[in-house]
Amino acid sequence: MAYIREIITDGHPTLRKVAKKVDPAEIGDPLFQQLLDDMFETMYDAPGIGLAAPQIGVSKRVFTVDLQDDEDAHGPLVVINPKFTLTEGEVESIEGCLSVPGMVGDMTRSERVVCNGLDRHGKKITLEGTGLFGRCLQHEMDHLDGILYIDKAKNVRPATTDEEVGEAEAVAAGAR
């Protein structure tokens, strides 16, 4: 069984902490696997395309992503202890976050990233991200470092247009 957990919002101190590295020995623990299942359940319920553990009050370096509905399809993915080995280029788009409900901002992100980490079985993975997927990886990584997009974005505003409302309500990062 997977459970929907409460998504904490801006103002909650856990969102501002640098999350702790996951001990690889912990990955096989049923409690940790339950956390991952709950993260997916919570992300799909929101609905969002990405969710970082701190957003449900768990200060650990792990996030989930599911972009299967996007043309740049990726997921469902678990990334534990992620690290960028490359960031290049620059791209601006509208960004929102489940932990900052109803708001969007204009965000500059790297155009392409390469990310190393572990999957839910503790296996090493390397992900290359461009487009929405690349921006999502950067957004979730920021959550693990206690950073919210509103710290970096320009023109943070209530979502008003259809596109903005879509961003604010439906996705954690990026524009289409």
- Choices 9-17, 93-101, 125-133, 157-165 (CB under 5 A): range interacting with Ni ion: 93-101
What token pair was written down for 14? 């856990």
- Out of 39, 65, 67, 97, the residue judged to bind Ni ion by CB under 5 A: 97
Nearer to Ni ion, 58 or 97 (CB): 97
**Taking the complex as a whole, how short is the minimal distance between the CB of residue 83 and Ni ion, in angstroms?**
19
Smallest gap from residue 139 Cβ to Ni ion (A): 6
**Minimum distance of Ni ion from residue 143's CB (angstroms):** 6
Task: Decide: is 67 part of the binding site for Ni ion (CB under 5 A).
Answer: no
Bridge-based pairing state of the strands 154-158 and 103-109: antiparallel
Interatomic CA distance for residues 43 and 49, integer angstroms? 7
Q: How far is CA 55 from the centre of its chain?
A: 9
Candidates 22-30, 32-40, 150-158, 165-173; binding stretch for Ni ion (CB under 5 A): 165-173
172 touches Ni ion by CB under 5 A:
yes
Beta strand segments in the chain, E:
50-52, 62-65, 77-88, 91-95, 103-109, 112-118, 124-130, 154-158
Question: How many residues bind to Ni ion according to rule CB under 5 A?
Answer: 2
- Whether 140 sits among the annotated catalytic residues: the reply is yes
Alpha-helical (H) ranges within 46-111 are: none
Residue nearest to Ni ion (CB): 97
Q: Which is nearer to Ni ion, 27 or 52 (CB)?
A: 52
With 0-12 / 13-18 / 19 or more C-beta atoms within 10 angstroms meaning exposed / middle / buried, residue 96 is: buried
Q: CA-CA distance, 71 to 154, in Å (whole number)?
A: 27
Catalytic residue among 26, 88, 140, 164: 140
Point out the residues that are catalytic: 140
Report the interface residues with Ni ion, using CB under 5 A: 97, 172
